[in-house]
Amino acid sequence: MLSYNYVIVLFTKDKKLEQHFAKVLSKKGYKFISYSTYEELFEGLKKGLIKTLFLHDRSIDNDSSIYKDIKQLCPSCQIVLFYEKGNGLVRDAIRCGVYACIKAPYSEWEILTIFHHLGYH
Amino acid sequence: MAKILIIDDDPNICKVLSDILRLKGYICVIAHTAREAIENVKKEEIDLAIIDLKLPDELGINVLKEIKETSPRTEAIILTAYASLPTAIEALDYGAFSYIEKPCKTEHLLNIIKRALERKNLIEEKERAHKALDKAHQELKVLWQLSKEILSKESLAEIINRSYEVVQGLFPDANIFVFLLDAKRENLFPIERLNLPQKIVDGQRLFQPPNDLIDWLSSIDRAIIVEKGTLTALDKFLDPYPFWYAIPILAKSGCVGCFIIAFNKKRYIPKADIIFVNRLLLQIAGPISQAISMEGQIEFLKGHIFGRTSFYGLVGQSRVMQDVYDLIRDVAPTNATVLITGENGTGKELAAMAIHECSTRKDGPFVVANCSAYPSTLLESELFGHERGAFTGAIRTKKGRFELAHKGTIFLDEIGEIPSTTQLLLLRVLQNRCFERVGGERTIEVDVRVIAATNKDLEKEIAAGRFREDLYYRLNVVPIHMPPLREKKEDIPLLCDHFLKKFCKEMGKDIKGFTAQAMKALIDYNWPGNVRELENVIQQMVILAKRDTIDKKLLPTHIANYLKKDISLAEYERELIIKVLKECNWNKHEAARRLKISRSTLYSKMKRYGLET
């Protein structure tokens, strides 16, 4: 069983999303780190500390190579995608091993259920 | 020349009278006694008897009586020297034409003889006319009855078989051969396909190659009867027969075939019988032409079927079903999640079972979960089970369908109906093959292959926000689409036979098949309920069937009404263009060639009907 000590990372440049995410996680007492640049993200992945990574589709390039890069640096990392519009993004993400995709407005119950499924209790 | 019998015991009178009559061109026979007279009447046909009232062995009146009894058509004149009113009345009562007293003037006698013979001729002519009328009436009656009987037959085989019996009945000593042209009138119709008696089929061997016969039949444009020696093209093939007649089956649209009546021995053949056959064939030519056309359509559809007729409970031989079988066979050995789409009644569950049966999990359970059958509150419990006390009424721990399907396959039917909370739970199971029972904390891991099915357009459901996109792609690893029945009509005859056998077995009935009209109706219907609807209809028809074939009268009302529905020319043209385009894989060049129109015409029609791709 995982505990909140494992590193949860949110990769976004969207402050509103960051605030929403923080609010939801605070209800369960989970802590997370927020990155907004690829350098920060890849550095964290290299250290192998990131167990669960929430990617915001608006903050990543619109191609699936990022998932391969993440898996290469940290194979055990579980990826969850926050997205606003599908347009093939979800299909590519699922095919590249993304665990789940949460569509805006990112409901609290949905985020928490996924945490539960990922083993956070 | 009329033959007159002179009955008189006086040889002089006989001589004088016979001399006069012979001079007038009559043939005379003389009898001096009653016995002699009767013998003559019995021996030969006498047109008129001139009877003396006083004969040595009998009264002339009695002779008249006997002559009329023996030969009612023989006219009689009484000639007597002892005329009296009572004998005159008696003679006329017994049918004498006249009663003359001797001596009489020759001219008067000759005049009466002439009138008597004229009356006889008139009566005979009248009788002949009556007979001819009777015969014509009888013939028409038989023709009408036979036509009616033959036209009530629904299949080409029945029509040909009954017509054959009628013709054979008229000419029991003849060999009857039946030849039919196919729907395009380019070849002989393969009559052996119709399950007709062997003797009918054997006739086809006569014309090898059949080109001359086909050319002749195609050239016929009016009702004719051809006999030996009048047509070289047929003579050379029918050479073994001393005499034969060929009678075409001439429909409005042209000649559709012929009957050949061939005799092994030369004999008198009543022309009227041959004409009768000609009339009969003219009467039934239209239905024969229609039946050939129907058989042609059925064969056309059968020609579009390939390979396997069935696959693990799925029935169909069409190209689309062969693709489904191939896909099932390829995907079955893997553990890949399969999403089966298709309208209701297309066999999605059968496809799922086929995947399970073909997989390495076939010895494990195949568990079906109909997601639309439970309210959302119960669905999670149904799928994942619950712990005792998890909710009101949960009096004991219950395993869910996923647990029951361990080491086997779970079939999630109507996946498009599940609520969003359950969708998220499913996403987890698909990803990790683990879950918790409702009210439970222990994570249960299962080894399950997931097959989901839906009749909904899940992409539309995603766009409407009712279905998770990630779950859709998780499920849709291998998509299998079950085609609706209207898109694989070539499978309908096969499916009908399959269900017919199934229900006959269940109900202990012996029904051989469907009439061509019934089958055509079943093919023409659009089957919104797909194979399941077809199965129900066949079951209903088998229940109601009282004969050994199912005819279209047994069709349910909604199908009969649908088929009666008027279709406009434009609708028909649109449907035809779609059908041909599909058959040609939307190759416009090929479609235009088949439709016998130019490509530019096809393009303009496609544009008009909104068929642009």
What's the pLDDT score for residue B25? 92
Cα separation, B527 vs B534, in Å, equals 7
Contact A117 B470 (CB under 8 A): no
Contact A114 B424 (CB under 8 A): yes
Contact A86 B431 (CB under 8 A): no
Residue A62 lies in a domain: yes
* Residue, of B295 and B172, whose pLDDT is higher: B172
Nearest to B428 among A95, A103, A117 (CB): A117
| Radius of gyration for the alpha carbons in chain A, expressed in angstroms and rounded | 13
Q: Are B481 and B301 in contact (CB under 8 A)?
A: no
Whether complex ipTM tops 0.90: no
Residues of A within 8 A of B424 (CB-CB) are 100, 110, 113-114, 117
Q: Are B146 and B287 in contact (CB under 8 A)?
A: no
Interface probe with A: pick from B432, B470, B473, B476, most Cβ of A within 10 Å: B470
Residues of B within 8 A of A101 (CB-CB) are 468-470
Instruction: Sort strands B254-263 and B174-180 into parallel, antiparallel or unpaired.
Output: antiparallel
Tally of residues, chain B: 613
Chain B: nearest CA to A94, how far in angstroms? 7
Chain B: nearest CA to A54, how far in angstroms? 15
Cα separation, A49 vs A38, in Å, equals 16
Residue B304 confidence class, pLDDT cut points 50, 70, 90 = low
Q: What is the mean pLDDT of chain B?
A: 88
What's the pLDDT score for residue B566? 57
- Residue-wise pLDDT for A19-50, tens only, equals 999 999 998 888 899 999 999 899 888 888 78
**What's the rounded mean pLDDT across residues B474-480?**
93
Contact A101 B470 (CB under 8 A): yes
Residues of A within 8 A of B339 (CB-CB) are none
Interface probe with A: pick from B421, B424, B442, most Cβ of A within 10 Å: B424
Contact B469 A99 (CB under 8 A): no
* Residue, of B271 and B503, whose pLDDT is higher: B503
First to last CA, chain A: 8
Cα separation, B500 vs B512, in Å, equals 9
Classify burial at B43, counting beta carbons within 10 Å of its beta carbon; exposed 0-12, middle 13-18, buried 19 or more: exposed
What's the pLDDT score for residue A4? 42
Does residue B193 surpass a pLDDT of 80? no
Q: What is the CATH number of the domain that holds A42?
A: 3.40.50.2300
Residues of B within 8 A of A90 (CB-CB) are 469-470, 473
**What's the rounded mean pLDDT across residues B303-311?**
67
Chain B: nearest CA to A116, how far in angstroms? 10
Residue A2 lies in a domain: no
Does residue B594 surpass a pLDDT of 80? yes
Chain A contact for B431, CB < 8 A? yes
**What's the rounded mean pLDDT across residues B545-566?**
84
Angle in degrees, CA B358, B316, B299, rounded to 5: 155
Chain A: nearest CA to B429, how far in angstroms? 9
Single-letter amino acid, residue B416: G
Residues of B within 8 A of A87 (CB-CB) are none
The residues pairing with B385 across neighbouring beta strands, listed in sequence order, are B399
Residues of A within 8 A of B469 (CB-CB) are 86, 90-91, 101, 103
Selection from B454, B450, B459 nearest residue B482 by Cα: B454
Residues of A within 8 A of B467 (CB-CB) are none
What's the pLDDT score for residue A6? 53
What's the pLDDT score for residue A3? 42
* Residue, of B609 and B465, whose pLDDT is higher: B465
User: Which residue of chain A comes nearest to B420, CA vs CA?
Assistant: A110
Does residue B503 surpass a pLDDT of 80? yes
Does residue A1 surpass a pLDDT of 60? no
Residue A24 lies in a domain: yes
What's the pLDDT score for residue B22? 93
* Cα B182 → chain centroid: 15
Contacts of B203 (CB under 8 A, 6+ apart): B175, B176, B177, B178, B179, B260
* Residue, of B418 and B608, whose pLDDT is higher: B418
Chain A contact for B544, CB < 8 A? no
- The CATH code for residues B3-124 is 3.40.50.2300
Nearest to B473 among A94, A99, A113 (CB): A94
Chain B: nearest CA to A119, how far in angstroms? 10
Contact B470 A114 (CB under 8 A): no
Residues of B within 8 A of A94 (CB-CB) are 470, 473-474
Contact A86 B474 (CB under 8 A): no
Contact A117 B469 (CB under 8 A): no
Q: Among 3.40.50.150, 2.60.40.10, 3.30.450.40, 3.60.20.10, what is the CATH number of B152-302?
A: 3.30.450.40
CATH architecture of B569-608: Orthogonal Bundle (1.10)
Tally of residues, chain A: 121
Chain A: nearest CA to B322, how far in angstroms? 28
Place of tokens 């642009």: B612
Domain of residue A49 covers 7-117
**Helix-, strand-, coil-residue percentages of chain B, each rounded to 5:** 50, 15, 30
Residue A98 lies in a domain: yes
Q: Of all residues in chain B, what percent carry a pLDDT higher than 90?
A: 49
- Residue-wise pLDDT for A61-119, tens only, equals 767 789 989 999 988 899 999 998 866 889 999 989 999 999 999 999 999 999 999 88
Q: Among 3.30.380.10, 3.40.30.10, 3.40.50.300, 3.90.600.10, what is the CATH number of B310-483?
A: 3.40.50.300
Nearest to B474 among A86, A94, A103 (CB): A94
Cα separation, A104 vs A84, in Å, equals 5
Omega within 30 of 0 (cis) for the link into B484 = no
Instruction: Sort strands B398-399 and B226-227 into parallel, antiparallel or unpaired.
Output: unpaired
CB pairs under 8 A between A and B: 36
Single-letter amino acid, residue B559: I
What's the pLDDT score for residue A2? 43
Chain A contact for B474, CB < 8 A? yes
Residue A1 lies in a domain: no
Chain B: nearest CA to A96, how far in angstroms? 11
Contact B469 A90 (CB under 8 A): yes
Chain A contact for B470, CB < 8 A? yes
Chain A contact for B460, CB < 8 A? no
Chain A: nearest CA to B378, how far in angstroms? 19
Quick one: three-class SS letters along B108-142?
HHHHHHHHHHHHHHHHHHHHHHHHHHHHHHHHHHH
> In chain B, which among 390-429 make CB contacts under 8 A with chain A?
421, 424-425, 427-428
The tokens for B324 are 């489904």
User: Which residue of chain A comes nearest to B423, CA vs CA?
Assistant: A110
Contacts of B204 (CB under 8 A, 6+ apart): B179, B188, B191, B192, B210
* Residue, of B545 and B148, whose pLDDT is higher: B545
> Into how many domains does chain A fold?
1
**What's the rounded mean pLDDT across residues B236-245?**
86
Asked: is B486-564 a CATH 1.10.3720.10 domain? The reply is no
Buried b / exposed e along A49-79 (16+ C-beta atoms within 10 A): ebbbbbbbbebbeeebebbeebbebbeebbb
Cα separation, B31 vs B37, in Å, equals 5
Q: At what angle do helices B271-302 and B106-151 cross, to 10 degrees?
A: 10
Chain A: nearest CA to B367, how far in angstroms? 24
Least confident range from A53-57, A75-79, B244-248, B575-579: namely B575-579
Quick one: three-class SS letters along B218-253?
HHCCCCCCEECCCCHHHHCCCCCCCEEEEEEEEECC
- Residue-wise pLDDT for B103-158, tens only, equals 888 899 999 999 999 999 999 899 899 988 888 888 788 888 877 777 777 778 88
B3-124 and B310-483, same CATH topology:
yes
Interface probe with B: pick from A90, A106, A121, most Cβ of B within 10 Å: A90
